[in-house]
Amino acid sequence: MKRTFLIATLAIIAASCSQPRTTAPDVIPMPQSYSLQNGSFTADNSTTVTISAPQEAKARLQEYISGTLPFAIDDSRKSNCIALVTRDSIDGISSPEGYRITTGSKGITIEATGEAGLFYGLQTTMQLIDNEGAMPHGTILDEPRFEYRGMMLDVSRHFFDKDFVLKQIDAMARYKMNRLHLHLTDAAGWRIEIKKYPRLTQLGAWRDDPNWKVWWNSGRKYVEEGSENAFGGYYTQDDIREIVAYAAERHITIIPEIEMPAHSEEALTAYPELSCTHEPYKQADFCVGNEKTFEFLEGVLSEIIELFPSEYIHIGGDEAAKQSWPDCPLCQKRMKDEGLKDVDELQSYLIHRIERFVNSKGRQIIGWDEILDGGLAPNATVMSWRGTEGGITAANSRHKAVMSPGTFCYLDQYQDAPHTQPEAIGGYLPLKKVYSYDPVPQELDSEKAKYIYGVQGNLWAEYIPTPEHMERMMYPRILAVAEVGWTQPENKEYDNFRNRALTAVGYLKSKGYTPFDLANETGNRPEADTPVEHLARGKKVTYAPQAPYYEGYAANGDSTLVDGNRGAWNNNDGVWQGFIKGGVDVTIDLGEVTPLTTVNADFMQICNPWIFMPTEVIISVSDDNETFTELTRIEHELVMDDALTFKNFGWQGETSARYVRYVARIGKKGGWLFTDEIVIK
């Protein structure tokens, strides 16, 4: 009887272990496919790792495992082990970063066609062991959607040291990100040692206030290294070698950015002869007409290329004011000699020339989408940040594009209700919106879509002075970028991702990171959650010719202000409509004379990007659209502050009318007005 009972019990256990598991694996990014059972393999102190791979790959994997994971390496073990095995080919895997994991009672087998695939299979395994306590039985087949899965750290506005960068590389590797773009130079500080030009770090890496915002608004002075009031820092070339090697062991490529021709105040203060006026503190753009500029840039890039083995060297290219170029004799001579018709083509001349130099060193350039202006260099890759248009243009020209639009990928924006968060640059970019992004624009056909090389999340640091704040802004939103870059859209689902992100937040906290407290997220602006019903909804709106909405912030076009949708915390959420010329001046036709008791609209203010409240609001009504009666005139004194604020401007009373005219005026400071809905009841 006992023997019969034991056999029956084992049969029940075996049957239960072979039952399909219905829950998704608790891993980020979500694998492309998996077939899991209820059973699991539990690793313990005696579990080992075996490696069957080419010698160089094996040596690198052994070094990583020995320094990072709690398992010994023993190639003789056949059970209770994690086996890493390279194969010539694996069905269903086309990428060298892809892998197959098979788990049973004796252990785990990770197969891949290359070292990167074994590494990423190991990351999936460790996440599941950490998150679920054991590795589920079954098979996981996985490979990335995009080759480029990146994060940019701005280390110029506030300097973050070598140890901080290494720490982030560890997290990036766990979540299968493979490009770390370092924004090394900008007005706020030059952050890398260049031996040929020591003044870049002797002067350009140090300022008289540690806080970028205070420094920016109070003179923007640089000071000598070692001065009593010197704040800043830079990476030595030995630091960079260590960072690059550490990242390479984790299959992450470091991409350096050296800004040109703009965002170069620190370099032009250290070497003012490279500006058009030859005066420190006067220029942000290099003088393109000056041969010394190219001698300098090529000298810098030669040392950069020696330090960074990356395919790409990022050359910036964004936001060049070009203010001095039209009046600079050297720039004008360059334009005449080269047959350039405008300053955009002069910038393009610089980009083309720098590309030829970088190509001569066996590398390629990548730059922000302004490198399209005046004509794209022959081999350049475009990083599209001003929306998706730059990426679309590049792909249509058969150039690679990395998609990084501010609407979805700029992690310096508020990730929760602004009043609950430390100061940020503005906007509202919650985890859900980052996760919703698809880097392949619908405008591209399948052939051109192949030129979308990948996606990148950017973390600018103007308002991020501490490592803890930097990590708070980074995590968990960069994990959404990781899944956007790796996982096919049909395998994505936000509620499930959020649950996995909560697990990741807990893990990161346990490892000393300071992620945002996702579990206690406040969420969207309450007004944005539910459409508002009112008398003007769906009615015709006429915009005065002298006060059009700005096409870049058109929202839902002519119907925006009466579509019932209220805006979120972010002015670029596709609901708020923006005005910069003439303010707001619209007339709404209710269709017939209608009793009215309220007319009102909300406006937002974020002073840093010059979004202000109106200084005057006038609401009037008419029965014939010719003679209007003023209901109210509201004067508002503009108060400059650091907060994101909202204010309702409206009228309340009793009247009847068919036409309602709503006027909101821009004050003497200029700037933007943003409103989302004119509510009439």
Q: Which residues are catalytic?
A: 186, 263, 319
Q: Distance between CA 255 and CA 178 in Å, rounded?
A: 10
- Residue 399 has phi, psi (to 5 degrees) of -110, 145
Paired with 651 in beta bridges are: 599
Spatial CB neighbours of 644, under 8 Å, sequence gap ≥ 6: 414, 418, 419, 426, 569, 604, 605, 606
Of 152, 159, 171, 185, give the one whose Cα is nearest residue 247: 171
Please count the other Cβ atoms lying within 10 Å of the Cβ belonging to residue 266: 29
- Distance from the Cα of residue 55 to its chain's centroid: 37
C-alpha separations of 490 from 32, 140, 442 in Å: 9, 17, 15
CB 569 within 8 A of CB 646: no
DSSP per residue, 538-573: T-EEEE-TTSPPPGGG-TTGGGGGGSSPPP-S-TTS
Is 300 in contact with 223 (CB distance < 8 Å)? no
Write out the DSSP string of 307-319: H---SEEEEE---
* Beta pairing partners, 662: 586, 619
Q: Are strands 48-52 and 148-154 parallel, antiparallel or unpaired?
A: unpaired
User: What radius of gyration, in Å, describes the C-alpha atoms of the chain?
Assistant: 29
Collapsed DSSP state (helix, strand, coil) of residue 292: helix
